Structure 1
C-alpha cells in the first residue's frame, strides 16, 4: 500500500465531509448562520427548522451525497491496486468515518458542525445499500408518523445492525456488524438532548416538504 497516497485520500474525504452545507447556504442566501439559531447545529434538521423546506431539503441531500461520495472513493484505491480487494470494506468504513468527522468538526467554519446523521446515511448507502435503503424507509415512516427527525434517526440507526443479523443482510465482513453497533450507539449518544426533549414533550417537530406544513 502506498501510505502517502492513502493519507492524501483520507485528507480529501475529510475535506469533503467538512463542507459546511448548512452554514454556507444560510450565510450565502439568507444572511443567517444556522448555528446561532434553533438547536445551534449545522445540519439538515436545524436548517429545516431555521430556514425552511427548500434549503433544508438541499442541505439534507447534499450532506447525504458527500457521505456517499467520500466513502465510495475507496473503490478508486482498489481499482488502482493501492489496497487489496479484501480490504475494501475496511477502507470504506475508514473513509466514511473521516467524512463524518469532517461534518462534525468542519475545518472551514471553526470546527463547529452538525451531528453527522445525513452524512452517516450517505456512508451507509455506500457500504451496504440494501440495509441502508430499508433503514431510510424506516426513518421516513417514523418521521411521517411522529414528525420528529431525531426519533426517526435513532430508530433507523438502531435498525441497521439488527438488519445485519438477518441472513438476507448478514455481511461477509464481520467488521461491518461491529460498525453497525457502534453507529447506533453513537447516534443515540449524540441525541441525548433530543431524547430529553422528547420525554418532556419539548422536541421541535419537523418542517418537511412531504409533511404538508408551511
Structure 2
C-alpha cells in the first residue's frame, strides 16, 4: 500500500496548493493553517483524491485567543467522512494497517509565537500535553500500531541528525512527524534503535512510502 505524507504547509488560502496524489492514503502531520476554515476546506478538497486522509493537529491549529479546544472541535466536526483526526480517535485501521497518533505537544515545545497566539498557552498546552502524550503511549501499548503520526517528533533534533537514510523495509513500525521544516523527504533509522523508521516531509509536495 502506498501512502503519501505531507506536513507544515502553512497556507492562508485553501487553493494555494494542489496536492498531486501518488498513493491511495494521505497522512497530514499537522500545521495546515492557523485558519480553521482553511484547514477544513483544504482537507475536504484534498480528500476527494484519496481513499482516506489521516490528520493530526499542529501547533498553528491551536492558535486561538478565545477557546483553542472549540476551534479544534469545529475543524473535526466539519470534515468529510474519509478524513480521520487522530487527536479524537483511539486509532484507526486502514486495510491491515493500524494507525494511531496525536499532536504530541509539550509545554517545552512552545515558541514565542505560540504563546502570543494561544490564549492561556501554558495552561492549555500543559493539559493537552498530559492528554496527548499519555493517551498515545497507552494506545501504542494496546494497539501495537504499524504507523504512528505526530506533529512533534518523539526524539530531539540532535537525535534526528544521527538518523541515517535507509529503505523502508523490515521495521516494526513507522513514526511520521512534522514541525521541523528542515526535514523534507526524510526517512531513516537510528543507529541503535533500529526497529522504528522515522519519516518526515515538511513540504507541500507529497513523499510516498510503501508498506
TM-score (norm 1): 0.31
Which one scores higher on RCO, CA 8 angstroms, separation ≥ 6?
2
Structure label with greater radius of gyration:
1
Structure richer in helix, relative to its length:
1
TM-score (norm 2): 0.31
Structure richer in strand, relative to its length:
2
